Structure 1
């Protein structure tokens, strides 16, 4: 899953310029958490005010650097047609495709856009490398080598998800911001992204999936994180996506087989910019929980991680944010609205200074965990409390 965030990015998280114009092909690399023999694709135009013309789509098992395994290449159809038009503000789902995939095995989705490709809907922070042709290069969805794809991005254009057909399997959605998204900064400033984590699948939902697999539970984890996301209002910039409640239906409730959701939001309400009160954040959580319960989904509410020594969401918000975060976390621990509480804060904070991340778990910006921190977050989730694991 790659939750749609925006259509306005000119740079990806690695600060690489994005070049979407017309008559070009996108080769988007995705990593399903579950293997199978039949898949279907979700393509998105959810944040674009214009129709998106799709000329042809293929799917294949990915090889190195944008190449694909030739014998796995399949043409994708939509209601029997090899082309489609996605209406403004909309998504489409493909027909089933016979393709054998493996858990954590990379899959390439190649999408040819013959008309105007500018402002494609994207998931801003993909933490994985995808590829593009130059504008006006034409249809290269059938190419098995990477020669036609000189451009790279760590955003995820056009592809919102991949479903694998499975019987007796349920889904847990990890719903949150950049910490769910798996972002790690290369610097104390919070940007650009740390290149060593790209293509490594070291987000906390990835580690959680590995724990579930080791336990033999028939359960798939969907990552619905959007970097910069907030509970109380839309993102401070378009790349940070719509507010949590605004995207809850599409990014959680409508997902196939969902039984559980882990919610980890709130730090950006405190700091981008300063403004949200504890009462506002608590009211937002209360609404989220009520809507999810009415949809029959179990809610596991996470405490907000500390960040007082970070620049963003930390030092720039002192002395406001630590006491507000502590008040919200106290409410999360004491409330009985959610089915369970996942105490991410207790798992990662420094015992000597509970307002900062422990050094062994902190990334360079002291806001986002490193890979060890994301692994620790996954360990904090009680598998036996997830409905889909019972």
Structure 2
């Protein structure tokens, strides 16, 4: 079943040629947990690399990427991924700053990498910027601007961002420090190279949402941060300001199988969840894409392995039930697969200690008149992906105490 199969882009060739941008710096482990002064790092925003492009003729361009923070802090660093590239990429200048509206930035703060303004991220590698003193609020619109000074041949990105990303024309030069947005003349909806933003704000902790297209926010309203992890972050921030929520959703992702640029949840668990700075709780919401090609026991076995690996790292694990999708527009639903879904959900609700707790997303959005269907009030129109109301129902259905983040949330 091809749940969340990518729709063809109606982008001009020039847009496809230009999905890029990146900070980059000294190659360090993505989950490096302590700054040099002993302050702990916590992720405030994250996304999972999920796509690869070859491009030609791209150089001297600047890209500006808005992201929504979850937890605030006094210092900021940016993490980058060149995971699927065949060549290194050079960043000539990078900045962060609060968004002023559209593609404008109130005050850009310059980023350095190993003390240098320019950095080259190797093919298949990662990079983390030096910390910059920057009072970053929680639930703020942060903008990461990257000037690509050299020739770009390959781009690693997260393609279904549900967020407008701003670009200059090729050859326009360095506009990373611009406060205005006039130089940014065209847009895409992907985050190239950017994989995470961290802050120092002890004591703090993060929840990682590991999922597929539903967690990715597919079919939620673009540019409004209505993915369910964003909405969960808003709930947490009201009672536990030090709690970050990191979105590790990838469209079409599965637990039991994957591909080079869309590895299975098992294969990407370390990269996208366990190594996230400050990660304390894993919320696993996967399995719907597995129903067409894997048996219920195979899916459950994958869930057990994920939970066991997270527990070995000292993390709390919350499982989520698989949501209904009868009459899904792209097909794939059968009585047999529905039986598998019910079997897996019964395990999630009573896992015998595999999960520390569970979130009943199935119950939150199913149609009471036909529980095999997504409720009409929550349906984006394809009978599988929830709309904004469905995203809200997910976030509201999570028992905040189940996340194990300490006092303050009930």
Q: Report the TM-score when normalising by structure 1.
A: 0.88
Q: For 2:397 and 2:275, how far apart are their aligned partners in 1? A: 26
| Mapped pair 1:324 → 2:335 | no
**How far is 1:9 from its partner?**
8.8
Whether the aligned pair in 2 keeps the contact of 1:182 and 1:204 (CA below 8 Å) is yes
Q: For 1:136 and 1:246, how far apart are their aligned partners in 2? A: 38
| Mapped pair 1:229 → 2:245 | no
Whether the aligned pair in 2 keeps the contact of 1:219 and 1:389 (CA below 8 Å) is no
| Mapped pair 1:154 → 2:189 | yes
| Mapped pair 1:298 → 2:316 | yes
Query: 1:96-127 CA distances to partner (integer Å, 9 max, x unpaired)?
Result: 11222222221111111122323311111111
Tell me the equivalent position of 2:385.
368
| Mapped pair 1:334 → 2:377 | no
Tell me the equivalent position of 2:371.
354
Q: For 2:240 and 2:59, how far apart are their aligned partners in 1? A: 46
Q: For 1:216 and 1:87, how far apart are their aligned partners in 2? A: 38
Q: For 1:249 and 1:267, how far apart are their aligned partners in 2? A: 21
Tell me the equivalent position of 2:31.
none
| Mapped pair 1:4 → 2:49 | yes
Whether the aligned pair in 2 keeps the contact of 1:178 and 1:227 (CA below 8 Å) is yes
| Mapped pair 1:267 → 2:304 | no
1:53-202 paired onto structure 2 within 5 Å: 53-69=90-106, 72-184=107-219, 197-202=221-226
Which structure's residues are more often helix, by fraction? 1
Q: For 1:220 and 1:76, how far apart are their aligned partners in 2? A: 22
Find the partner of 1:255 among 264, 276, 279.
Answer: 276
**How far is 1:329 from its partner?**
1.2
Query: 1:275-328 CA distances to partner (integer Å, 9 max, x unpaired)?
Result: 22212211211111111111111110111000012123xx33434421221121
Tell me the equivalent position of 2:76.
39
Find the partner of 1:25 among 40, 56, 62.
Answer: 62
Aligned CA distance change for structure 1 residues 132 and 118 (closer, same or farther; 3 Å)? farther
SS in structure 1 of the partner of residue 61 of structure 2: strand
SS in structure 2 of the partner of residue 209 of structure 1: helix
Query: 1:179-206 CA distances to partner (integer Å, 9 max, x unpaired)?
Result: 111111xxxxxxxxx6xx1111111111
**How far is 1:136 from its partner?**
2.4
| Mapped pair 1:344 → 2:368 | no
Tell me the equivalent position of 1:309.
327
Tell me the equivalent position of 1:187.
none
Whether the aligned pair in 2 keeps the contact of 1:35 and 1:101 (CA below 8 Å) is yes
Q: For the aligned residues, what is the CA RMSD?
A: 1.8
SS in structure 2 of the partner of residue 8 of structure 1: strand
Alignment coverage as a number of residue pairs: 361
SS in structure 2 of the partner of residue 41 of structure 1: strand
Which structure's residues are more often strand, by fraction? 2
Q: For 2:312 and 2:49, how far apart are their aligned partners in 1? A: 24
**Larger deviation, residues 133-142 vs 147-156:** 133-142
Whether the aligned pair in 1 keeps the contact of 2:325 and 2:333 (CA below 8 Å) is no
Q: Report the TM-score when normalising by structure 2.
A: 0.84
Q: For 1:293 and 1:107, how far apart are their aligned partners in 2? A: 32
Aligned CA distance change for structure 1 residues 352 and 20 (closer, same or farther; 3 Å)? farther
Unaligned runs of 5+ in 1: 11-18, 185-193
Give 4+ residue runs of structure 1 displaced > 6 Å after superposition.
none
